[in-house]
Structure 1
């Protein structure tokens, strides 16, 4: 966490190119229930994990604490009332983020996300967890497409998939993602799994917002054209 920034860093921040924040508006262009938003970080060569060790996210850390990444995450969670996670991500997110709430010197945006994650309704996809070890959490062992179809029929804000590639891939395959939020980090991982597999439904996306930040980080938000 950064307590202060130099004058040159501030000048750099002020000079970055940004587009307006993505519109909130209806949950999706078709007006068909709640909007499904998928958030994920990708390397410049298109991977969401490196080769060999999927739990090693050291490549993310220099970029995840930039202003553009923090602002990006804040804008996504502000309109979301349900979080979707796979088991591995749930254990990582919910093992770390609640500790940030009382962390001395923590960035206010990180604290805001941590509080939101604790307080919001969470759905965790798992075939091994018997019951939820976290508050406001439902464990499901069903196809993501079915779960999301049920959630879209309920009242609420956005349904936000938090960096769980297996869930995002399933929803891309069923064409149920309305907004795709990508934080692009300027690093080559040289291997590992990719988010976009061959055989996804053909379709058009429109750029809703873009922002560039420190170290070449890009925050990109695309809306599905239906």
Structure 2
């Protein structure tokens, strides 16, 4: 007998190329993402992830990028209301930043933790609150997949081969089964896919 995960979920969110890469050789080159990240499908996908969540779990690099940019969207002239809603959620949500170099968090409602990723995620999962979302922090997601702690895997797949860069899924991940819970195709060929980890009862 199998069951879907209930209770507080760990949700991993990542954008991928069709050849399974999340970044080019230069990780700062995100030009391949932008044409698809601002589509209605991508925005609806992101909204569906943050609305049931109360905690963001981030690596240091992504925390600096996300929290340096998104708060500036609030009140920005011409900002899409969905982007502004996400920005407000991110500011107000609890944020846990995994880092061995930061000593304190320069952001509101954020805590810096220097402990193994799986240990931190398991502790958060056992606590109270809504979903725990990992937004595009590849090192965090890889560690959680290796520990089989991801309950929901949310992917935006873009119709492009990068031909270089880093793959998200390692060869030595534990074998397991996933159930497709939603799929949406966009007008530019992008796909929003959400899978839930199916576990034995």
Provide TM-score, normalisation by structure 2.
0.96
The runs of 5 or more residues in structure 2 that have no matched partner are none
RMSD, matched Cα:
1.0
Instruction: After the TM superposition, list the runs of 4 or more consecutive aligned residues in structure 1 that deviate by more than 2 angstroms.
Output: 28-31
Q: Residue 67 of structure 1 contacts residue 214 of structure 1 at CA under 8 Å; is this kept in 2?
A: no
Could you tell me which residue of structure 2 aligns to residue 96 of structure 1?
69
Deviation at 1:189, TM superposition (A): 1.0
CA deviations on 1:124-162 (whole Å, 9 max, x unpaired) are 111111110100001011111000111111110000001
Q: What is the number of equivalent residue pairs in this alignment?
A: 197
Q: Provide the rounded CA distance (Å) in 2 between the counterparts of 1:85 and 1:55.
A: 17
For residue 76 of structure 1, the aligned residue among 49, 56, 70 is 49
Alignment of 1:52-131 (within 5 A): 53-131=26-104
Provide TM-score, normalisation by structure 1.
0.85
Whichever of the two has the greater Rg, that structure is: 1
Q: Provide the rounded CA distance (Å) in 1 between the counterparts of 2:169 and 2:123.
A: 25
Residues 1:40 and 2:36 aligned together: no
Residues 1:197 and 2:170 aligned together: yes
Residues 1:167 and 2:140 aligned together: yes
Residues 1:139 and 2:100 aligned together: no
Q: Residue 155 of structure 2 contacts residue 194 of structure 2 at CA under 8 Å; is this kept in 1?
A: yes
SS at match of 2:133: strand
Larger relative strand fraction? 2
